C-alpha cells in the first residue's frame, strides 16, 4: 500500500506472526527482521513476546544487538510486548546469568512477575491515554515494571498498583499481549509514532 509505514517485527523468537498480522490489518507494510540489513529498511520495530533470554542470545548470534541499540538511540519507534518490554528495559531483575537487554526505557522490570504459564490470565486494564474503554490484556508469564524513572511515564497499572504499560518518547513497553486479545490501540499508537518520525525526516 503506497504511503504505508514500513515497520519490522523482530523475528528471532516469539509470537511474531500475530504482531505481523495485526500491523498488516492496520495498513502497515510489515517486514520480518532477523538481520541488520533488514532492520535498516524499516522505520519502526516491534519486539514480540517470547523468552527474553532467548531473544537476547539470538540477537547477539545474528548480530542484531548493537544495531537495535543504535536504532533506539537514534529515535526509532519501538513497541515491546511482554519479553519485548524486558528487552527495552534499562534494568532487569531476576535475569539469568549474563542476560542483557537493548535498553532505552528508564524502568526496572522484573521477569516472570505473574508466575508460571498455568497462572496466565486476562484482565481489563484502564489506559486513560487510549480512551475510556478499557484494554483487554492477556498476561502470560509477563514481567512487571517495578520502578519508573524520570524519563519514562506510566500508561497503565493494575488495581494493586503494579505498572504494566510505560512510554518514553517513541518507545512503548507492555507487560501483556494486546495482539492476542485483538486490542489494536497500542499498535496504532506505535504506527502514529512511526508516521510522525517519518514526517519529521522528510
pLDDT tens-digit series, residues 72-117: 999 999 999 999 999 999 999 988 899 999 999 999 999 977 766 6
Domain membership of residue 102 as a residue range: 6-201
CATH of the domain at 73: 3.40.50.880
Q: How many domains does the chain have?
A: 1
Residue 155 reports pLDDT greater than 90: yes
For residue 1, being part of any structural domain is answered with no
Can you give the pTM of this predicted structure? 0.94
Pairing type for strands 105-110 and 144-148 reads antiparallel
Give the confidence band of 195 by pLDDT, cuts at 50, 70, 90. Answer: very high
Contact yes or no for 16/30 (Cβ under 8 A): no
For residue 190, being part of any structural domain is answered with yes
> Can you read off the three cell numbers belonging to residue 98?
549474563
Q: How far is CA 107 from CA 21, 97, 118, 151, in A?
A: 29, 20, 27, 9
Catalytic residue ranges: 82, 177, 179
Amino acid at each position: 500500500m503506497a504511503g504505508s509505514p514500513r515497520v519490522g517485527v523482530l523475528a528471532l523468537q516469539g509470537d511474531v506472526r500475530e504482531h505481523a498480522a495485526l500491523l498488516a490489518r492496520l495498513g502497515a507494510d510489515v517486514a520480518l527482521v532477523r538481520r541488520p540489513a533488514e532492520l535498516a529498511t524499516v522505520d519502526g520495530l516491534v519486539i514480540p513476546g517470547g523468552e527474553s533470554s532467548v531473544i537476547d542470545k539470538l540477537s547477539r548470534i545474528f548480530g542484531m544487538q548493537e544495531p537495535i541499540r543504535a536504532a533506539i538511540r537514534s529515535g526509532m519507534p519501538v513497541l515491546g510486548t511482554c519479553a519485548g518490554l524486558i528487552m527495552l528495559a534499562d534494568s532487569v531483575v531476576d535475569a539469568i546469568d549474563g542476560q542483557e537487554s537493548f535498553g532505552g526505557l528508564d524502568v526496572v522490570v522484573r521477569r516472570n512477575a505473574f508466575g508460571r504459564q498455568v497462572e496466565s490470565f486476562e484482565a481489563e486494564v484502564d489506559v486513560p491515554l487510549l480512551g475510556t474503554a478499557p484494554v483487554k490484556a492477556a498476561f502470560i508469564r509477563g514481567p512487571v515494571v517495578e520502578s519508573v524513572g524520570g524519563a519514562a511515564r506510566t500508561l497503565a497499572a493494575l488495581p494493586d498498583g503494579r505498572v504494566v504499560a510505560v512510554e518514553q518518547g517513541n518507545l512503548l513497553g507492555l507487560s501483556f499481549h494486546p495482539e492476542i486479545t485483538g486490542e489494536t490501540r497500542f499498535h496504532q499508537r506505535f504506527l502514529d509514532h512511526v508516521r510522525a518520525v517519518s514526517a519529521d525526516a522528510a
